[in-house]
Amino acid sequence: MSSRPFSLPWPLPALLTWTLAWACLLLLGRVLPWWLALGMACAISTAASLWGHSWWRRAMIAAGFPLSFGVMWVSQSAWGLPAWGWLLPLGLLLLVYPLNAWRDAPVFPTPANALRGLADIVKLPEQALVLDAGCGLGDGLKALRTELPQARLHGLEWSWALAIACALRCRWARVRRGDIWLADWSGYQLVYLFQRPESMGRAAVKAATEMQPGSWLVSLDFALPGVLPTACLEGNSRHKVWIYSMPLQQ
């Protein structure tokens, strides 16, 4: 249970904070110098960043308003764009990273050597099906290909833009657009995740419910809560690789 007095689903905390900061700037700007109103609006967005459940969410809450103000100021002063011009980069962000995907991990690439040694622990048959659930731009697929060259690699990504970019970068993999939580994991001998801590309980339930005995779940950085790992790779980078054999052990 969260220790916060109340909690809202992401990205509502960010959207509400940005709206409040803009309202503060517009209202206070009528009675105060513009720089003082701007400073107070920035202070509001910074204070509200404590609403975020992780560092990257706190950064997005705090930086959203000043970034939008900066883009608007540049668009008006340098390029003569209308005041709503700051919505253009926001629209591009939503195209690349749609709202549904905000509840999962941000787009952080898997380091090239993070999975080194995985093949020494996970023994897969020839042509085993391996899924990168939330493949982003394809860095996880590339790391999996290095370790498991005989596997048939699949990638699943919610963002159309990222899925297309991943398919172009990883032509040897089957990449499609879809929701990793609605997809069926039962046909895969290994599922790879690079999510966030809040997602790992859901991942544990899905793996325990759908994945077959003898298959594997591999998670970069974040362990499954209340589950004993089969192994943990360390030393390849600052990341840990948590490895679980099905069925999961409590």
Q: Considering the domain boundaries, does residue 62 fall inside one? A: yes
What are the tens digits of pLDDT across the range 85-107? 555 665 655 555 555 555 555 56
pLDDT of the residue at 3: 45
| Residue 134 shares a structural domain with residue 230 | yes
Asked if 241 contacts 217 with a C-beta cutoff of 8 angstroms, the reply is no
Q: Rg of the Cα trace of the chain?
A: 21
| Residue 135 shares a structural domain with residue 188 | yes
Asked if 118 contacts 218 with a C-beta cutoff of 8 angstroms, the reply is yes
| Residue 139 shares a structural domain with residue 34 | no
Tell me how far CA of residue 104 lies from CA of 46, 93, 100, 149, 209, in angstroms.
23, 15, 8, 28, 20
Closest CA to 233 of 114, 68, 97: 114
> Which tokens belong to 116?
């080194």
Report the length, in residues, of the chain.
Answer: 250
Which residue range is the domain that position 149 belongs to?
Answer: 118-246
Q: How many domains does the chain have?
A: 2
| Residue 232 shares a structural domain with residue 137 | yes
| Residue 126 shares a structural domain with residue 189 | yes
Q: Considering the domain boundaries, does residue 26 fall inside one? A: yes
What are the tens digits of pLDDT across the range 62-83? 888 888 787 677 666 655 556 5
| Residue 180 shares a structural domain with residue 224 | yes
Among residues 90, 105, 131, the one where a domain terminates is: 90
| Residue 67 shares a structural domain with residue 126 | no
Among residues 44, 75, 90, the one where a domain terminates is: 90
The number of beta carbons lying within 10 Å of the beta carbon of residue 237 is 16
What are the tens digits of pLDDT across the range 220-235? 999 999 999 999 998 7
Q: Considering the domain boundaries, does residue 95 fall inside one? A: no
Closest CA to 68 of 91, 36, 51: 91
Helix (H) or strand (E) run with residue 37 in it: helix 34-48
The bridge status of strand 241-245 relative to strand 216-220 is antiparallel
Q: Considering the domain boundaries, does residue 36 fall inside one? A: yes
| Residue 138 shares a structural domain with residue 49 | no
| Residue 57 shares a structural domain with residue 131 | no
| Residue 124 shares a structural domain with residue 84 | no
Q: Which residues pair with 79 in a beta bridge?
A: none
Among residues 73, 90, 107, the one where a domain terminates is: 90
pTM > 0.85: yes or no: no
Residue 147, domain CATH: 3.40.50.150
